[in-house]
Amino acid sequence: MKDELINKIKSKEFIVGIIGLGYVGLPLAREFLTSGFHVTGFDVDSDKVAKINRGKSYIKHISNDFIEKYVNKTMLKATDDFSEIKDVDAVIICVPTPLGEHYEPELKYIKSTALEIKNYLKRGHLIVLESTTYPGTTDGELLPLLQESGLVAGKDFFLGYSPEREDPGNKDYTTRQIPKIVSGITKDCCDLIDILYSQVFDKVVPVSSPRVAESAKLLENIYRSVNIALVNELKIIFGRMDIDIWEVIEAAKTKPFGFQAFYPGPGLGGHCIPIDPFYLTWKAREYEVHTRFIELAGEINTSIPYHVVSTAIKALNSQGKSIKGSKVLILGVAYKPDVDDMRESPALKLIDLLLSDGAEVCYNDPFIPRIPKTRKYSFDLESIELNAGNIREKDLIIITTDHSVYDYGMIEKNARLIIDTRNALKKKGIVNKKIWKA
């Protein structure tokens, strides 16, 4: 069976199914399509399914023309009918893995997906989990559910883990160029997943087990979380000393070894870094280990929006104003520049805190015309037009996302007071006393 599957993969007669057509699943589908594979996308969101089948994209960096091209070539289709799993050869799982109210992993989407797959699992199926999770999920959670079908992993079907490394808006590395870690429950599982992804990615990195692959993904994001927490804490310390943290970082990064630059901001955003470290924290408790370093970084990063609000109160007080009743404009609710992704954006927490303090809050983001309801927040806000008049009537402007499309000169010229959490203005050479750092 293994040789037959290898031949089918290499001849591109292998149909790839991707469950979850979000910021991970749809870019992955793009890479398989451009490599010559037929792709069936599965999603419970009927709106996403309908858009794909009409040749429309809902993600900024994937064009309508691309989707339309492959739909018209009948190489791409989307469905919310999971019985069509039986018609594909590979099932790649790209579903969300959020945290619960008490920072515990929510595996409900992985488990419900596994149950759907189990119902239509067939001999020769290649199953790959890409969702970020704690070590032991693939062999401890997914494997037993799939084997309830009566089929055996490594013999009848093939199972492994390959962590997603998607970075929306990254202009230096495309999905294809980012090395792809792969693993399998057995050697044959790993070999087949290696061969499949080698058709799509420039470099594939096999590791000895799914637990190693799961841990590698967590290490990547814990590393970033800890270092961002460090510079966020230093930002506050150096700010008290009247030292510019941004200038400090620029000076430090001239060292050609032993230092990597990380930058402060209004908090931590994106689906990975604010969430993934707590998967290991939760799992470590099973082994009676307290992850003090990881939890401390989380505490620091989640405290930063409070620091920004505290700075806003001081800045307004300097103008004889109270936060209550002040008109505040948030610039940018995407979690990073030039993307339409607001998952876990610190701007949302900032808006919530400002509203709680009685401020009148509005926002502008050219990539997010409306803030939809999220698991934590339910704001009834739409992006306002960014013009001189709207800026002049606000008591305070807070730059939370440094989109490249913003006219920072116009913003500075018309604003009464600015808090710049991203050093956006100074990078443009704009410095004056009405600009506060936070």
The radius of gyration computed from the CA coordinates of the chain, to the nearest angstrom, equals 24
> What is the rounded distance in angstroms from the CA atom of residue 369 to the CA atom of residue 367?
6
Is residue 192 a contact partner of residue 184, using CB atoms and an 8 Å limit? yes
Beta 126-129 vs 158-161: how paired, if at all? parallel
Cα distances (angstroms) measured from residue 224 to each of 38, 208, 263, 409: 35, 24, 10, 32
Could you write out the three-class secondary structure of the chain?
CHHHHHHHHHCCCCCEEEECCCCCHHHHHHHHHHCCCCEEEECCCHHHHHHHHCCCCCCCCCCHHHHHHHHHCCCEEEECCHHHHHHCCEEEECCCCCECCCCCECCHHHHHHHHHHHHHCCCCCEEEECCCCCCCHHHHHHHHHHHCCCCCECCCEEEEECCCCCCCCCCCCCCCCCCEEECCCCHHHHHHHHHHHHCCCCCEEECCCHHHHHHHHHHHHHHHHHHHHHHHHHHHHHHHCCCCHHHHHHHHCCCCCCCCCCCCCCCCCCCCCCCHHHHHHHHHHCCCCCCHHHHHHHHHHHHHHHHHHHHHHHHHHHCCCCCCCCEEEEECCCCCCCCCCCCCCHHHHHHHHHHHCCCEEEEECCCCCECCCCCCCCCCCECCCCCHHHHHCCCEEEECCCCCCCCHHHHHHHCCCEEECCCHHHHCCCCCCCEEEC
Residue positions annotated with a catalytic role = 272
